[in-house]
A and B are shown apart, each in its own frame.
Chain A
Amino acid sequence: GAGVSQTPSNKVTEKGKYVELRCDPISGHTALYWYRQSLGQGPEFLIYFQGTGAADDSGLPNDRFFAVRPEGSVSTLKIQRTERGDSAVYLCASSLSGQHPEQFFGPGTRLTVL
């Protein structure tokens, strides 16, 4: 596809459950980013991948959050033991490389934890 895609678009889960959110970046983009946007706020950085490795995970709020990018393309954000406070829109972005500052965003996954 031409842009960043994310699946699912909506996810409803119960407190304590495990969820996975998927991001498919623009083809050829080596840098991938995850952000979280709570209601009424701007996006907050979670993690940045350059290729397969997490180059900066300083934004992950705690050890319930984990992300992988095993082949340097698709990435999965994993949240264990979900809490109601995890409810937010999770945004993925990609850029041509870490040196290219312009980040292109996907439509996001809206996560609701009941």
Chain B
Amino acid sequence: AQSVAQPEDQVNVAEGNPLTVKCTYSVSGNPYLFWYVQYPNRGLQFLLKYITGDNLVKGSYGFEAEFNKSQTSFHLKKPSALVSDSALYFCAVRDYGNNRLAFGKGNQVVVIP
């Protein structure tokens, strides 16, 4: 069964500093990996995905993520955090053999002005 672990409940970072949100995954085959962001009372917004190819993927709002097969990780990064990046971030994985997304529990990111 596919699963995702997001080990930290909350990530605090000062505005302008680099932001990293960690994610590790488990699948039986080749993974499709995703990051979504959720603002209060809003639906999930797609940030980026890894399907195949270059391990470093770039997404919306200056975010990027690096796929590391040996460590089964897909950490989300942003070089310089903004206060407006404060939100709930979800990592998700889909096994190549099905269409279900398995989500982690989410990480609350707080960017301090």
**A residues lining the B interface (CB < 8 Å):** 4, 31, 33, 35, 40-45, 48, 55-56, 58-59, 91, 93, 98, 101-108
Contacts and interface: CB of A to CB of B under 8 A. Distances in A.
Given A41-B105, A42-B105, A42-B106, A107 B43 contact: yes
Interface string B78-113: 000000000000101010001111111110000000
Contacts of A59: 100
Contact of B99 (A40, A43, A56): A56
B51 A101 contact: yes
Given A31-B99, A48-B100, A91-B43, A40 B32 contact: no
Interface residues of B, number: 24
B44 interface: yes
Contacts of A35: 101, 103
B12 to A, nearest CB: 18
A35 to B, nearest CB: 8
Contact of B102 (A45, A56, A91, A107): A45
25 contacts: A31-B99, A35-B103, A41-B106, A42-B104, A42-B106, A43-B90, A43-B103, A45-B101, A45-B102, A48-B100, A56-B98, A56-B100, A58-B100, A59-B100, A98-B99, A101-B32, A102-B49, A103-B46, A103-B101, A104-B46, A105-B45, A105-B46, A106-B43, A107-B41, A108-B43
A6 B103 CA distance: 21
A59 B34 CA distance: 20
A45 B102 CA distance: 7
